[in-house]
A and B are shown apart, each in its own frame.
Chain A
Amino acid sequence: MESKVTCENDLNFKATELRLGLPGTDDSEKHTPPSVRSNKRALSHETTEDSRSKSNSGTSDFGDDEKEAPPAAKAQVVGWPPIRSYRKNCFQPKKTEPESAGIYVKVSMDGAPYLRKIDLKGYKGYPQLLKALEIMFKLTIGQYSEREGYNGSDYAPTYEDKDGDWMLVGDVPWEMFISSCKRLRIMKGSEARGLGSYV
């Protein structure tokens, strides 16, 4: 087997090797020593026998890409294990769920006797959040505008961000908001006017 390997190196079989990688993909390790290319090949998962007329036996080279890599660097390869991507994706999110199980923040309203808590993950965007706040506290918040803030309405929703600053709800993209929001406070319109309009 050794002499065969040497021979292959001389004739550069590598360049004409038939593989089933995507066009343009390269073997991850081209400089593996000959000993790695032993006759202990791990073949592909499939050698179908039922319909010889079909060309499925092409999958026999399937395992070539990953066999070249040294055991230490086992990057995930395309196509292995042979599971449909739909199945693979079905269970990935479940594993990370505990880490992102709800972002609960306190919501205070000026003049209210007690605070509430809401889960920011439960809303898709600002309109849903503001609607929920309106329902929860029985008030109207009005339309947000970049220029005027919530001017023209009785209340303005504000939040405390990671740096401890009080910000107007609605300025930053939703994803950025929910990752930086520590707590919410619904300010009375009179107080909020200073926040919304800046000269």
Chain B
Amino acid sequence: MREDPTEMSEDDDRTTDLAGGGTIVVEASSNKTRSCGGNGGGGVGVGTIADYCPSPYPDQVLENVLENVLLFLTSRRDRNSASLVCKSWYRAEALTRTDLFIGNCYAVSPRRAIERFKRVKSLVLKGKPRFADFSLVPPNWGAQFFPWVSAMAAAYPWLEKIYLKRVSVTDEDLILLAHSFPAFKELVLVCCDGFGTAGLAAVARCRQLRVLDLIDDEVNEDDVDWISCFPESVTCLESLIFDCVESPVNFDALERLVARSPSLKRLKLNRHVNLMQLHRLMVRAPQLTHLGTGSFSTSDNPAQADQEPDLSAFATSKSLVCLSGFRDIVPDYLPAIYPVCARLTSLNFSYANINAEQLRPVICQCYNLQTLWVLDSVCDEGLQAVAATCKELHELRVFPMDAREDGEAAVSEVGLLAISEGCRKLRSILYFCQQMTNAAVVAMSRNCPELVVFRLCIMGRHRPDHLTGEPMDEGFGAIVMNCKKLTRLAVSGLLSDKAFSYIGEYEAGD
């Protein structure tokens, strides 16, 4: 098809008469909107607009064309680029952006965001800076959800999804949300605070709710039975994650809810759900793929203390790929999960106080594991067991049981070295330890070239390489030199300017 450059010009003050002929060629992806022919030309959708859209509005045609094209553009970076081409593209892009990402809630006011983007269906909003997680931001600092939810309530009644990270959300905000968005489908709250079970009850009442994920939030312990507030009939729930909710839930209501949620794939329970109850839920939901196992221990109720929990549900599960929970684990019951180990791609033991001996029989079956979070209670021996089996491991996080600077060392460079030798495909590591050596870090830089994220936290302040006494410069230097794909680096220990000169020298690109 011939491309007439004058027709394709997007300048606002272009006055070329479309009716005068010429071919408009639009190359859209795959199967849509191909129009050819000028005056009265027929094509799908666009051609008809050319019919009744007379020459004074040539831009309108192209804008409509562009809108149809831009519907296929999903990456926000690409969209940002497209919006810079000219005003016409800016408008078209603004009209077609449905997923709004606000990386810093103070970067733009709700009013401005809403003025620009008219048809948003999904919002991602991030509030406080990351160090808020470590109690470094004063309380009532800000990042309130209210200005956003109140503005959107008026502007986006069709809103379907909200993802908030480190935002202060109140019960009233959640109630407003539930009332304002009849088509609301997904709520994900990560590291948020300020709300309680009263707010959750309001959200539960959203009839089209598919996803309610509460991840690492601080949830006020009101006594509202929010689990009972889900629709009485069959629900569309696909994901229900509430392991961070500290208050007990009405278990009978939860069991009934799970029973009437045939689409439920992800269920992460809080620590008040014990093994007996877990079994009952698993029986109701054999289709689960992601399971947070609650306490993984027996009931506190002395009347039930004698009963042995039935753990056969793990044996019959065909679909579980992700396990977490284990909040108050009784290690004796760990063998129950053996049947699912071979299929697991993600295992979160970061709340499970287990040692190497208890980990080994589990991990030696997890040869498909890609993501593993553990406590350093498993020690270097445990990590060696991981290295021996988990050849597909992409992400490892080792959290400390004793999170103090001068605490006991449970894992060391031995574990790190073992992991580097066994898990060559490693992309992301977070490793808390008390001491480290340059040699181990250098070895990891050589053994794991796929590393994208390297976060080493030597908790002892200013600790040098404990074998050589030197600063940790060479280790971190090797990481930035050898790991070409690195995008995120966290350093610790004793460092000198050398380390930073390495970082400056080798950290090119993103």
A3 at the B interface (CB under 8 A)? no
Q: Whole-angstrom distance from the CB of B107 to the nearest CB of chain A? A: 9
User: Given A39-B497, A50-B510, are A83 and B403 neighbors across the interface (CB < 8 Å)?
Assistant: yes
CA distance A88 to B495 in the complex (A): 26
* Distance in angstroms between the alpha carbons of A148 and B457 in the assembled complex: 62
Q: Known interface pairs A22-B136, A40-B471. Does A49 touch B488 (Cβ–Cβ under 8 Å)?
A: yes
CA–CA, A86 and B246, complex, Å:
11
Cβ contact within 8 Å between B495 and A43: yes
Contact partners of A67 in chain B: CB under 8 A: 462
Chain B 275-303 per-residue mask, 1 if CB under 8 angstroms from chain A, else 0: 00000000000000000000000000010
Q: Which residues of A contact B462 (CB under 8 A)?
A: 40, 42, 67
User: Is B103 among interface residues, defined by CB-CB distance under 8 A?
Assistant: yes
Bound Cα distance A85, B494 (Å): 25
Q: Are B403 and A87 in contact (CB under 8 A)?
A: yes
- 10 A-B pairs whose Cβ atoms sit less than 8 Å apart in the complex: A40-B495, A48-B489, A49-B510, A59-B129, A80-B461, A81-B403, A83-B399, A85-B135, A86-B216, A86-B218
Bound Cα distance from A112 to B54, whole angstroms: 105
Is A20's CB under 8 angstroms from B131's CB?
yes
Among the 9-residue stretches A5-13, A71-79, A149-157, the one with 4 or more Cβ atoms under 8 Å from chain B is: A71-79
The digit string for B461-474, where 1 denotes a CB below 8 A from any CB of A, is 11000000001000
Choose among A39, A51, A86 the residue with the greatest number of B CB atoms under 10 Å from its CB: A86
* A79–B400 touching, CB < 8 Å: no
Question: Is the pair B491, A47 in contact by a Cβ cutoff of 8 Å?
Answer: yes
Chain B residues within an 8 Å CB radius of A22: 136, 138
Q: How many whole Å from B398's CB to the nearest CB in chain A? A: 12
Most buried by B among A58, A59, A66, A81: A81
| Pair A45/B104 contact, Cβ less than 8 Å | no
Q: Name which residue of chain A comes closest to B136, CB basis.
A: A79
Using A55-B104, A83-B399, A84-B216 as known contacts, say yes or no to A41 and B131 having CB atoms under 8 A apart. Answer: no
Interface residues of A in 85-109 (CB under 8 A from B): 85-88, 90-91, 94-95
Question: Residue B435 at the A interface, CB < 8 A?
Answer: no
Residues of B within 8 A of A84 (CB): 133-134, 216
B488/A62 in contact, CB under 8 A: no
Task: State whether B432 touches A81 (Cβ < 8 A).
Answer: yes
Q: Are B493 and A42 in contact (CB under 8 A)?
A: yes
Measured in the bound complex, the distance between the Cα atoms of B191 and A85 in whole Å is 12
A 25-57 binary contact with B (CB < 8 Å = 1; else 0): 000000000000001111101111111011110
Measured CB to CB, the nearest residue on chain A to B137 is A22
What residues of A have a CB within 8 angstroms of the CB of B218 in the complex?
86
Most B Cβ at <10 Å: residue of A45, A48, A62, A66? A45
Partner of B103 from A45, A53, A87, A91 at Cβ < 8 Å: A53
Cβ contact within 8 Å between B134 and A47:
no
Q: A40-B494, A41-B495, A45-B455 are in contact. List 4 more A-B contacts (CB 8 A).
A: A45-B490, A56-B130, A58-B129, A94-B353
Establish whether residues A20 and B136, one from each chain, have CB atoms under 8 Å apart when the complex forms.
yes
Contact call B489/A81, Cβ cutoff below 8 A: no
B2 at the interface (CB under 8 A from A): no
B487 within 8 A of A: yes
B109-165 residues with Cβ-Cβ distance < 8 A to A are 129-131, 133-136, 138
Shortest beta-carbon distance from A178 to chain B in Å: 18
Cα-based distance from A67 to B492 in the complex (angstroms): 13
A12 to B375, CA, bound (A): 45
Nearest CB to that of B129 among chain A residues? A56
Q: Does chain A have a CB within 8 A of B12?
A: no
- Chain A residues within CB distance 8 Å of chain B: 20, 22-23, 39-43, 45-51, 53-56, 58-59, 62, 66-67, 74, 76, 78-88, 90-91, 94-95, 122
Q: How large is the interface on B (under 10, 10 to 19, 20 to 34, 35 or more residues)?
A: 35 or more
B367 within 8 A of A: no
Contacting residues, chain B, for A40 (C-beta < 8 A): 462, 471, 494-496
Establish whether residues A50 and B487, one from each chain, have CB atoms under 8 Å apart when the complex forms. Answer: yes
Q: What is the CA–CA distance of A183 and B65 in the complex, to the nearest angstrom? A: 86
Neighbouring B residues of A48 by C-beta, 8 Å: 130, 488-490
Closest to A83 in B: B403
Chain A residues whose CB sits within 8 angstroms of the CB of B459 once the complex forms: 80-81
Contact of B135 among A39, A47, A78, A95 (CB under 8 A): A78
Q: A43-B495, A56-B129 are in contact. Are A79 and B135 (CB under 8 A)?
A: yes
Do A42 and B494 have beta carbons less than 8 Å apart?
yes
Taking CB atoms, residues of chain A closer than 8 Å to B432 are 81, 83
Is the C-beta of B402 less than 8 angstroms from some C-beta in chain A?
yes
Q: Which residues of A contact B510 (CB under 8 A)?
A: 49-50
Q: How far is the CA of A2 from the CA of B471 in the complex (A)?
A: 20
Across-interface contacts of B495 in A (CB, < 8 A): 40-43
Q: How many angstroms between the C-alpha atoms of A66 and B489 in the bound complex?
A: 21
**Nearest Cβ in chain A — how far from B435, in angstroms?**
13
Whether B131 pairs with A43 at a CB distance below 8 angstroms is no
Contact A78-B104, Cβ < 8 Å, known A40-B495, A45-B492: no
The answer to whether the Cβ of B3 comes within 8 Å of any Cβ in the partner chain is no
In the complex, which residues of chain A have a beta carbon less than 8 angstroms from the beta carbon of B401? 91
The 5 A-B pairs at the shortest CB distance, nearest first, are namely A79-B134, A42-B462, A50-B487, A81-B459, A83-B403
Shortest distance from the beta carbon of B461 to any chain A beta carbon, whole Å? 6
B489 to chain A, nearest CB (A): 6
Q: Which residues of A contact B216 (CB under 8 A)?
A: 84, 86
Contacting pair B131 A59 (CB below 8 A): yes
Residue of A with least CB distance to B377: A91
Shortest C-beta distance, B452 to chain A (Å), equals 9
- Beta-carbon contact of A66 and B487 below 8 Å: no
Alpha-carbon distance A59/B491, docked complex (angstroms) = 12
Q: Would you call B411 an interface residue if the criterion is a C-beta within 8 Å of the partner chain's C-beta atoms? A: no
Given A51-B103, A91-B401, also A59-B130 (CB < 8 A):
yes
CA distance in complex: A54, B405 (Å): 29
Cα–Cα distance between A81 and B404 once the two chains are bound (Å)? 7
